[in-house]
Structures are given as C-alpha cells and as structure tokens.
C-alpha cells in the first residue's frame, strides 16, 4: 500500500539543511503534485537547539535528540545533512536498519563506507539517494546511473570542489592571496567544517570515489585514491602556465579505465586553455564524462552553496517520496547503485608510479653557472626529456625561479629525479610538480 503523506526527519539544519527547509516550504504545492503525496517535515535534529535559525519552524519540531527522530515509527525518510563520519554513520546505519529510506549529501560517509551502506540498504530493502554529495546542484548522480546507463564509461575528469576552484580563480584572476580567498569561500558557505578537506583535495577525492564506484560499477577503496591539494600553488604559477605554455591550473579529479585497471587521482593539473573545463571558474563545478557510445559529455553548475545543494537534496526527497507514495520504494533498486544481483567488477587501481604524463616543475635555484645543466643531467639520467625551460630574472636575493615543462615521462622516474634535484645544494626548498592533462 502506498502512502498519501510522507513524513520526513531532517538531521542537520546548517547551510544545506536550511536550504532544504526553504525549498520544501517555498515549492510545497509543486513538490507535492510531483510526488503524488503530501510532504510533511516531521522533526529536525540539530546539535544546538537554542541557536537562532534563518527559517521559522513550529515550536517543538527542533530537537537535539537525533536518535528519537530515527526511532520515530511515523517517519518514512531520513535526510542526513550533518556531515562527517561520526555520528552521521551511526545515524544512517540505524535508520537503514529501521527500514527508513535515506537522502544524504555526505560524500565523506559514502566514500569511506560505501560497501557497508550499499550492503545495508540492500539487506533492508531501503533506498539511499545522494545527488547532493557530488557537484552540488549538478544532477551528475542521476546522469551516471540512468542517463548514461547504456554506456561503458571510459573516463571522468571533474572539477568537483567549489571551495578550491573558488580559491584558484580568485588567485588567478583577482590576485587574491590563498588565505584571503579561503576566508571568502568559507563566508559564502562553500567550505567543509574542516576546510583542510577542501584545499588538501580530500573532499574532491571523496566525490571521485563515489563517482568512480558508480560509473565503473566497482568499489573503490578511498585509501587507493591518490590525493594532492592546492596548498603549494602561487599566483605566479597561473601566470607562467598561461603565458609561457598556454595552460590553466585546476584541481582535477580524474578516473580512467584502461586495460582493466583504474586510475583514480586528485591533484592540481595543467589543462589546455582551450579545454571546456578551463573556463569553469569560482564555485562552479563541471564533470566531463566520456562514454563509449555517447562520446564526451559535460555537466556544469554550482558545485557548492545553500540553494544549489538543496536543489539536489530536494530532488532526491521527491524521488524517494514518489516511490513510497506509489508503493515501489526499494522494489526496483536501492538507489543509484542499482539492484541485486549485482556483481561488482572490483577493478584494480593502477599504482601512481605507473602513470605516464608531461610535467611542469617550478623550483628556486641559485643564479650560478652550471645549475641548469646539473638539473638537466638529473632529468636526462631518469629518461625525462625537457620540452621548455624558463628562467626568470632575479627579483631579490641571489635565487631565481626556474620553470620546466617536460615531455611524457614515467611518474616513478619523475619523482626520483625530483628528489635528486631537491638535494642539489644550489636548489632551494621544495619543487612544485604539476601534471599536465589533455583531459580527453
């Protein structure tokens, strides 16, 4: 028997949760018509119930007792917008065991506990939806699981962290410093509670794990994703990359399947200025997906922020509510990851040291005769061939910045050469190494 009223329990009413309440209220009539049932926000759990809120809710609806919401037998659907692993994981697992359907935007939880959540959803016949977890308002999860289902996915290139893309854009286009740009992103509600996840690449890696698991029907262990962040970039890198070589610098999330192995990596990369992803700026995200039948596609939109993310979360609520209303929830699958029997492919992840690509190196060297030839010798000894070298004038002191673009080389060789160059007495500090991606 279907239901004429779907009761929703909301866990977390911060940036995104507040947007969800706003949208459910503002578009109630349309949403209920589309769902075929009344949508009733029954209870809301937060950490501190005394905090002032930006939305008005009936007295008594807000509680600090999340467990009472999970255990309320009249609630059909739990929307988890607390974030992080604990207590979110415990609450989601308890709700699934209580046979409540789940909507979440928590990519950290999905990436690190994918198998546990998928397994529990299947065992309990509930649906778990997570459109808000990747790409904010961009409907990439539905697109991968339904719109592109006829394809074998070959590659994904994504700009999937709004905060870091916002910072890179502000540094590149407006000359802002890293800390200034990060502060702005936090103020706009884009950043995670721990912004190290944004700037260190961890959030993008969480999202890539989810995308890869879906797209390649495999379970990608989060720990197998290679992750580097944007902390070492300077405004000068954007200038040199563009003016000397014709590239932009972006934090890319990359997944590729080749010869039965997966590459899954997140790192800043040089991308040709002419690539579609090169113009994705600010808090915008884009996911470039290559399928064997469809070819190249790109999904673009605001990847963070209150209302874009609420748009994705409420579309999931609607989807699950309609399934409950028509009594098909959990019958034709357990969410975007499909139904059983489902044999996961479990593709092996290619070790990073086997990667082959071109590299951009930026280092600081003493302005002395023989330094460049010593660097070139180390690169040659490691089979790394130089495509271009730019040595800038001294600005202060006796050190000069040197920028090198290489031809294709093996990551293992490049990293060994980097270590040896860093140990030259005339080379000062760490070498910044960026990979060059063609993005196709």
Among 102, 122, 136, 329, which residue interacts with ligand NDP (rule: CB under 6 A)?
136
As to burial, measured by CB atoms within 10 angstroms (0-12 exposed, 13-18 middle, 19+ buried), residue 305 is buried
Among 6, 10, 16, 138, which residue interacts with ligand NDP (rule: CB under 6 A)?
16
Among 2, 3, 5, 14, which residue interacts with ligand NDP (rule: CB under 6 A)?
14
Q: With binding defined as CB under 6 A, does residue 190 bind ligand NDP? A: yes
The smaller minimum CB distance to ligand NDP, of residues 305 and 401, is found at 305
Q: Smallest distance from the beta carbon of 255 to ligand NDP, in angstroms? A: 20
The smaller minimum CB distance to ligand HSE, of residues 190 and 240, is found at 190
Q: With binding defined as CB under 6 A, does residue 110 bind ligand NDP? A: no
Residue nearest to ligand NDP (CB): 14
Which structure tokens are listed for 99?
Answer: 């046979």
Q: Smallest distance from the beta carbon of 205 to ligand NDP, in angstroms? A: 13
Report strand pairing: 261-272 vs 247-258.
Answer: antiparallel
Q: With binding defined as CB under 6 A, does residue 114 bind ligand NDP? A: no
Q: Which residue has the tokens 């999970």?
A: 70
Q: Which positions touch ligand HSE (CB under 6 A)?
A: 136, 161-163, 190-192, 198, 203, 303-304
9 vs 43, 59, 61, 65, 66, CA distance in Å?
5, 15, 10, 12, 9
SS3 assignment, position 119: helix
From the list ligand NDP, ligand HSE, none, which binds 161 (C-beta under 5 to 8 Å, kind-based)?
ligand HSE
User: Which region among 187-195, 334-342, 366-374, 382-390 touches ligand NDP (by CB under 6 A)?
Assistant: 187-195
Residues β-bridged to residue 8: 41, 77
Q: Smallest distance from the beta carbon of 148 to ligand HSE, in angstroms? A: 21
Q: Which residues contact 58 (CB under 8 A, 6 or more apart)?
A: none
The answer to whether 47 is a known catalytic residue is no
The smaller minimum CB distance to ligand NDP, of residues 20 and 427, is found at 20
From the list ligand HSE, ligand NDP, none, which binds 163 (C-beta under 5 to 8 Å, kind-based)?
ligand HSE
Q: How many CA atoms lie within 13 A of 279 on its CB side?
A: 5
The smaller minimum CB distance to ligand HSE, of residues 132 and 333, is found at 132
Q: Which residue has the tokens 């939880």?
A: 109
Query: What binding mask, one character per residue, do residues 302-341 give for ligand NDP by CB under 6 A, x or -?
Result: --xx---x--------------------------------
Which structure tokens are listed for 291?
Answer: 């399928």
Query: What binding mask, one character per residue, do residues 72-91 give for ligand NDP by CB under 6 A, x or -?
Result: ---------xxx---x----
Query: What binding mask, one character per residue, do residues 35-74 give for ligand NDP by CB under 6 A, x or -?
Result: ----------xxxx--x--------------x--------
Q: With binding defined as CB under 6 A, does residue 139 bind ligand NDP? A: no
Q: 147: how many CB neighbours lie within 10 A of its CB?
A: 16
Q: With binding defined as CB under 6 A, does residue 132 bind ligand NDP? A: yes
Site size toward ligand NDP (CB under 6 A) is 28
* 3-state SS string for 52-90: CCCCCCCCCCEECCHHHHHCCCCCCEEEECCCCCCCHHH
User: What is the C-alpha to C-alpha distance for residues 186 and 196, in angstroms, rounded to an integer?
Assistant: 12
The secondary structure element, H or E, covering residue 105 is none
DSSP string, 294-332: TEEEEEEEE-SSHHHHHHHHHHHHHHHHHHHHTT-TTTS
The smaller minimum CB distance to ligand HSE, of residues 15 and 323, is found at 15
Cβ atoms 24, 317 nearer than 8 A:
yes
Q: Which of 197, 186, 199 is nearest to 222 (CA)?
A: 197
User: What is the C-alpha to C-alpha distance for residues 102 and 120, in angstroms, rounded to an integer?
Assistant: 11
The smaller minimum CB distance to ligand NDP, of residues 306 and 323, is found at 306
Q: 274: how many CB neighbours lie within 10 A of its CB?
A: 11
Identify the active-site residue in 100, 107, 207, 250: 207
Catalytic residues: 207
Task: Note the residues at the interface with ligand NDP (CB under 6 A).
Answer: 11-17, 45-48, 51, 66, 81-83, 87, 105-106, 132, 136, 189-190, 192-193, 304-305, 309
């Amino acid at each position: 028997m279907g239901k004429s009223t779907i009761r929703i329990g909301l866990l977390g009413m911060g940036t995104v949760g507040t947007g969800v309440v706003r949208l459910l209220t503002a578009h109630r009539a349309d949403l209920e018509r589309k769902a075929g049932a009344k949508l009733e926000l029954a209870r809301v759990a937060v950490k501190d119930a005394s905090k002032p809120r930006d939305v008005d809710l009936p007295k008594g609806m807000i509680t600090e007792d999340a467990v009472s919401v999970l255990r309320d037998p009249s609630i059909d659907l739990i929307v988890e917008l607390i974030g992080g692993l604990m207590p979110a994981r415990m609450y989601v697992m308890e709700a699934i065991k209580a046979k409540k359907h789940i909507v979440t935007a928590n990519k950290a939880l999905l990436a690190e506990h994918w198998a546990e959540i998928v397994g529990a959803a299947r065992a309990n016949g509930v649906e778990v939806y997570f459109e808000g977890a990747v790409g904010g308002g961009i409907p990439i999860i539905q697109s991968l699981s339904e719109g592109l289902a006829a394809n074998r996915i070959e590659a994904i290139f994504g700009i999937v962290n709004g905060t870091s893309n916002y910072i890179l854009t502000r540094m590149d286009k407006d000359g802002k410093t890293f800390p200034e740009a990060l502060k702005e992103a936090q103020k706009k509600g884009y950043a995670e509670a721990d912004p190290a996840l944004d700037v260190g690449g961890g959030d993008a890696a969480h999202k890539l794990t989810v995308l890869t698991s879906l797209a390649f029907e495999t379970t990608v262990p989060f720990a197998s994703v290679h992750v580097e962040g944007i902390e070492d970039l300077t405004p000068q890198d954007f200038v040199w990359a563009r003016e000397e070589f014709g590239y932009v610098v972006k934090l890319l999330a990359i997944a590729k399947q080749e010869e039965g192995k997966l590459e899954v990596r997140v790192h800043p990369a040089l991308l040709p200025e002419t690539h579609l992803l090169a113009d994705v700026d600010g808090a915008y995200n884009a996911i470039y997906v290559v399928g064997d039948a469809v070819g190249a596609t790109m999904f673009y939109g605001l990847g963070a922020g209150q209302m874009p993310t609420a748009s994705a979360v409420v579309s999931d609520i609607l989807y699950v509510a309609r399934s409950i209303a028509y009594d098909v929830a959990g019958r034709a699958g357990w969410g975007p990851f499909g139904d059983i029997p489902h044999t996961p492919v479990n593709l092996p992840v290619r070790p990073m040291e086997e990667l082959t690509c071109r590299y951009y190196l930026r280092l600081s060297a003493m302005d002395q005769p023989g330094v460049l030839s010593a660097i070139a010798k180390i690169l040659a000894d490691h089979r790394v061939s130089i495509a271009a070298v730019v040595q800038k004038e001294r600005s202060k002191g006796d050190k000069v910045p040197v920028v090198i673009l290489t031809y294709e080389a093996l990551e293992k060789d490049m990293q060994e050469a980097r270590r040896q160059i860093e140990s030259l007495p005339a080379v000062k500090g760490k070498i910044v190494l960026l990979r060059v991606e063609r993005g196709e």
